[in-house]
Structure 1
Amino acid sequence: MTTPDPQHVARRTVLATGAAGAVGATALASGSAAAEPAPRTRPRRSSAQLFAHGVASGDPQPTAVVLWTRLTPTAAATPGSGKGPKAHVTWQVATDARFRRIVKQGTVTTSASRDHTVKVLATGLRPATWYHYRFVHRGVASRPGRTRTAPARDALPGNLRLGVVSCANLQAGFFSAYRHLARRRDLHAVLHLGDYLYEYAPGQYGRGQGNEDVRRHVPAREMVSLADYRQRHAQYKRDPDLQDLHALAPMIVTWDDHEVTNDQWRDGAENHDASEGDYVRRRARAHRAYDEWMPVLMDGTARLGDGARLYRRLQFGQLAELSMLDLRTYRSQQVGGVPTPVPNPDATVSDPDRTILGRQQMAWLKASLQQERAQWKLVGNPVMIAPVTFGQVPRDLLDPVNDVTGLLPADGAPYNTDQWDGYTADRREVLDHIRDRGVKDALFLTGDIHSGWACELPYDVATAPLSDSAGVEFVCSSVTSNNLKDITGDPSGATTEVVEAGILANNRHIKYLDFDSHGFSVLDVTPARAQMDWFVLRPREGSGATDPRADRAAEAVWSVSYRTLAGTGRVEAADAPVGPRTDGGDR
């Protein structure tokens, strides 16, 4: 997402916009793990020292799940240092929280070559089952984590419930959204839609107009080198609220731009210049650190160095299939010339030679959007696909006008060409595929834009909502990254009301828009409907804080809920958020 840096104005554009399972880790009893005793000459290190970055799991499959941690075998083996010996780590999976019934375990070797991270794919598990896991080194155990496998491929579960988050800038505030999600016991997994971390130096893109650093980034510079990316990942993984969320349930992630640098595309980025070296090499370093530090399968494996393909599918029985997109690595350069959020009339956004997906990922996504694969076709979508435009012309008139003038972009003049609005040929190909194949229940789940949205996906934006809809898009707000109120510095919300009214009046397929809140969402999918609940942060009463991001103990309150009924492709308001599970999912 485009982000501002007043110290480098020419290089930025602006978009207007507990502890679950936390049990104190203790030394294992003799004989409870296959780990050698610590030498008498070496002081015994504590669990907090050895496993300072917590534990995580991700990419749940019916019989497997990714498990992750980072070992600090010696005090000198700090992230990005390249120091520290090879070390053996045992991983264990149990059906009980006290690890009396261990069902899977193994031992792996880590070293400085992989920044002492540990990532394994635990296989041979049972579908739709909660497990507990931990790591052990020299008789000392990590904190335990809690994870869940996906349902069997032929199963029809009663529901799928996901926490949904994106855009967590550590310098802009505390991660209270993570803390509140980590207190829930009804989530099957957490969906992180990108901007898990940010590349900026201290003093750049902090909280509000003044870029206040609520917390300062480490290292104290923009991350460019492999060591920089490793240290920044490590800093984020030290956050206690993020650690608790990772320990609660598996996380399914994709990246947006800031995991590398702002507004990246296939061959470059807005926040990259020649003084920072070769961009493709920088991206490779960022992707390497991401592979090391995230509980994710890249190129379908937990191994390092075998590729950087992040787009992948996860199936939850016959109820839902989730396709996670990569909308940065293969895209054409963004259309420039008009700074966001001024509507951009450049017809280049509709050039069929420009792509946001790339040809291979496009074919893969169209294969995902097949009616027979699963009932709900969920798409983890880093940037917004619904049109947000002005001056739309009906689709049946657009081509004749362009035959004469060649001036009109498809779907009207977009206000943010970093989104799918800057790549309308790709969007039309996806939506036309849905229409031509009779696909039902396509639901795009999106982050990036630091605001909450509920939208329909019209085939013809100029005639919406009278024209048919290809599906629905739900967009979650940011965890901490600046929104419209933060950027404008208008606490009254008057500026926001004007902007929201203008967008809603020109885009009748948009049913909900909140430019001013931070928080998280919860998605609940059943055979009858899919519902998104938005929860927003508020300062604690009596805290004296005016911005919840600056309040480490900020409260979360339910804001609104919207849903789409099966088979309709339409959005409607819901009266209340989904309640806690009652089928034993909180064990």
Structure 2
Amino acid sequence: MASFAKFASLLATFQCVVALSLGNPLERNLAYRSPFEEHPQFARDTGAIQKRHMQAFRKRQTVPAGTFGDEHYPTFYGGDFSNTLFLWNAGVNFTHAVASGDPLSTSVLLWTRAVPLPSTTPSNPSSTPFLPDQSVPVCVKFEIATDNAFKHVVDSGNAFTSYDVDFTVKVEANGLKADTSYFYRFSDCTNASIMSPVGKTRTFSDANTPASKVNGGKPLTLAVFSCSQYQAGWFNAYNFAATNVTPDAFLHLGDYIYESLGNGAKIGRAVLGRELATIHDYRQRLNQYRTDVGLVNAHLAGPWITVWDDHEVADNSWKAGTADSNDTSTGCSFSPSGACFTDRKLAAVRAYHEWMPIRQVAADDKLRIWRNFQIGQLLDLTMLDTRNYDRDVTDVYYNTVVNTLADGQNRSLMGPAQENWFFDTLSQSKKRGAIWRVVGQQIVFTQLNESGVFDLDAWDGYRQNRARVLSHLYNNKIDNTVILSGDSHANWVSDLAHPNDTTTYNSATGKGAIGVEFAGTAVTSGSSFGSGIQPAAADAISKVYVTAKGNEDLQWSEGSYRGFFTLQISTKTLTATYYAMNNVSNPNLDGFASAQFVVNSGENRLSRPIAGGSVKAGVLKSQA
């Protein structure tokens, strides 16, 4: 058996060597690609990388093999491969387990990171361990199967990675069956015994699947997260969801990482490096975040669908700058990281696409991650970018001029291209007969009067853009729209209606609304009500908010607990359940369901009595 295993490993190595010498197998790893297909200049030049590998190959044909210490490379039944192409054969470490994302009906993205293990020369075990240089590729094999024993593998293949993409690997598994659960793993091509953990993923139903047949006829459950700051606490919300909720997919609305520093040392959460600026900085921060056990478990548990917010680049980012940097001479020098905005943004986007299991969307412009998932005729899940794509200037603290711009007619969060695409997507969703339209985006949509203060970094700073969205829904009689929001570090649940409209909309009954917004709190980031604020004090503030003039749409507010919420979607109802974590200062699963809200199909409002008339945290308008 041992001989057979050795033979299999050597055969796999031989196949990898042959593959690497024929064509360009680097193309299988999507991490090398540009995040924007219409902007190939942002890709890693796989031709150049392949050429670099081949130059190493040619060198090995003319330089005596003994200088390379080839004893640790495999041979194939005695064949002398001492001058073959250099392929790392000392083993790899799957440092960050596995992840999957952006499931379609016949494919899903699979992700891992395969870091070469240090090696010594076998003839001299006491020699100094060394790692491969940039000319050395690493080969991994992926497998996806219908069973966790991998007896029924439905797709497999090899992919190569290297230091150029931080040894990340992102492949698309194809030929899958719709609405089906799968198991997947990676292994070292040169040593099949070195395997990654096994992840679980799934595909969605085909767009034409009747709504009653989606997810095998069971409600589809999505877990929704935002704002996970490493130094602020442990990512218990992810683990709670993976362990106690087991959703069909995980949605992240942004601020998956934070660029800033901060003192988390007292809870063992000090971040590495500096404020993020370079590709190394962003990779290092993603690396550290992905070591959190809760986040690891959540990525293992199911596919993720993500969009970014501002902190994946920098605080309060917009299309031409952030709170502490832009592309002026002053802006570049003002950045604590010493980088101009464009440099930071390109580095952040590059690292994000390397580390996240997100598809690279075909685009006719820059930065596109906005996309749509047609999940049978049950719903369209539309993911927007209201932050980086083409957002007009936002509130960056010192530019008080934004107060005078908030009502600007042409002011936009999305830019014309995305906005038109969004309206077309909503209309097409209705036309094709989808029951629900669920919109994942970054910032609170509903008007929020917070004791006379409006968040101009949210939709309140782009009021005409919000009006255009609401008018499109009303004018085209588009039912069952549910907007999801993050960013605010607090919980808000509202009917959707034009702000301050007490003629069309009745706050008590919900009559006249055109949809619902579910805005979620942070995984760990400090409450906007006050960092560390206790429930009683937060509820006192919530009571003021839900009764304030101008907050007619707002029906529930909660500002103390960190957590997440789920959507359970069926043909007749959409149910949102909010979960609160009792403690994020250490790893635990101590949480509870704080409130539950129901939306009945066709009603376009929260079902009354809201939350059944009772919540375990926060304040309902009806209670106040």
Query: Which of 324, 327, 330 is equivalent to 1:271?
Result: 324
Partner of 2:584: 549
Larger Rg: 2
Aligned-pair CA distance for 1:28: 8.1
Matched, 1:92 2:143: yes
Indicate how the Cα distance of structure 1 residues 297 and 115 shifts in structure 2: closer, same or farther if over 3 A, else same.
same
Aligned-pair CA distance for 1:298: 2.2
8 Å contact from structure 2 (residues 499, 553) kept in 1: no
- Distance in 1, Cα, partners of 2:181 & 2:298: 16
Cα deviation, 1:308-364, whole Å, max 9, x if unaligned, reads 311001111000111101111211112567999xxx993520101221010000001
Query: Which of 601, 606, 611 is equivalent to 1:571?
Result: 606
Partner of 1:291: 353
Alignment of 1:492-503 (within 5 A): 493-494=536-537, 496-503=539-546
Matched, 1:327 2:381: no
- Distance in 2, Cα, partners of 1:86 & 1:165: 36
> Which shifted more, 269-278 or 473-482?
269-278
Partner of 1:69: 112
Q: Which structure is higher in RCO with an 8 Å CA cutoff and minimum separation 6?
A: 1
Cα deviation, 1:457-506, whole Å, max 9, x if unaligned, reads 1124241435722211101211100004542x553633551354234433
- Distance in 2, Cα, partners of 1:82 & 1:472: 54
Matched, 1:427 2:485: no
Alignment of 1:161-200 (within 5 A): 161-184=221-244, 186-200=246-260
Alignment of 1:91-490 (within 5 A): 91-137=142-188, 138=190, 139=192, 140-155=194-209, 156=211, 157=214, 158=217, 159-184=219-244, 186-203=246-263, 214-219=268-273, 221-272=274-325, 273-275=331-333, 276-300=338-362, 308-329=367-388, 330-335=390-395, 346-370=403-427, 371-373=430-432, 374-389=434-449, 415-463=454-502, 464-465=505-506, 468-484=512-528, 486-487=530-531, 490=533
AA aligned opposite 1:144: V
Aligned-pair CA distance for 1:571: 1.1
8 Å contact from structure 1 (residues 33, 136) kept in 2: no
- Distance in 2, Cα, partners of 1:472 & 1:28: 58
Aligned-pair CA distance for 1:202: 3.6
Aligned-pair CA distance for 1:40: 6.5
SS at match of 1:243: helix
SS at match of 1:331: coil
Indicate how the Cα distance of structure 1 residues 53 and 300 shifts in structure 2: closer, same or farther if over 3 A, else same.
farther
8 Å contact from structure 1 (residues 451, 477) kept in 2: yes
Aligned-pair CA distance for 1:84: 7.6
Indicate how the Cα distance of structure 1 residues 460 and 553 shifts in structure 2: closer, same or farther if over 3 A, else same.
closer
Indicate how the Cα distance of structure 1 residues 202 and 335 shifts in structure 2: closer, same or farther if over 3 A, else same.
closer
- Distance in 2, Cα, partners of 1:56 & 1:448: 24
Matched, 1:41 2:72: yes
Structure showing the higher helix proportion among its residues: 2
- Distance in 2, Cα, partners of 1:480 & 1:510: 24
8 Å contact from structure 1 (residues 74, 84) kept in 2: no
- Unaligned runs of 5+ residues in structure 2 are 17-69, 74-87, 120-131, 326-330, 615-624
- Distance in 2, Cα, partners of 1:498 & 1:369: 35
- Distance in 2, Cα, partners of 1:30 & 1:472: 60
Cα deviation, 1:239-262, whole Å, max 9, x if unaligned, reads 221111001000000000000000
Partner of 1:398: none
AA aligned opposite 1:476: G
- Distance in 2, Cα, partners of 1:33 & 1:421: 62
AA aligned opposite 1:314: F
AA aligned opposite 1:465: N
- Distance in 1, Cα, partners of 2:448 & 2:535: 25
Aligned-pair CA distance for 1:414: 5.6
Partner of 2:65: none
- Distance in 2, Cα, partners of 1:198 & 1:338: 21
TM-score by length of 1: 0.79
- Distance in 1, Cα, partners of 2:240 & 2:613: 18
Cα deviation, 1:428-459, whole Å, max 9, x if unaligned, reads 11110111111000111111111111111112
8 Å contact from structure 1 (residues 179, 241) kept in 2: yes
* TM-align CA RMSD: 3.0
AA aligned opposite 1:177: A
- Distance in 1, Cα, partners of 2:241 & 2:278: 33
- Distance in 1, Cα, partners of 2:611 & 2:260: 39
8 Å contact from structure 1 (residues 298, 308) kept in 2: no
Q: Percent identity at matched positions?
A: 32
- Distance in 1, Cα, partners of 2:372 & 2:165: 26
Indicate how the Cα distance of structure 1 residues 288 and 490 shifts in structure 2: closer, same or farther if over 3 A, else same.
closer
AA aligned opposite 1:389: N
- Unaligned runs of 5+ residues in structure 1 are 1-26, 392-412, 539-547, 578-587
Indicate how the Cα distance of structure 1 residues 504 and 122 shifts in structure 2: closer, same or farther if over 3 A, else same.
farther
TM-score by length of 2: 0.75
Cα deviation, 1:132-179, whole Å, max 9, x if unaligned, reads 001111211111110000011111223221111111111001111111
8 Å contact from structure 2 (residues 307, 369) kept in 1: yes
Partner of 1:13: none
- Distance in 2, Cα, partners of 1:310 & 1:187: 23
> Which shifted more, 265-274 or 360-369?
265-274
SS at match of 1:264: coil
Indicate how the Cα distance of structure 1 residues 45 and 482 shifts in structure 2: closer, same or farther if over 3 A, else same.
farther
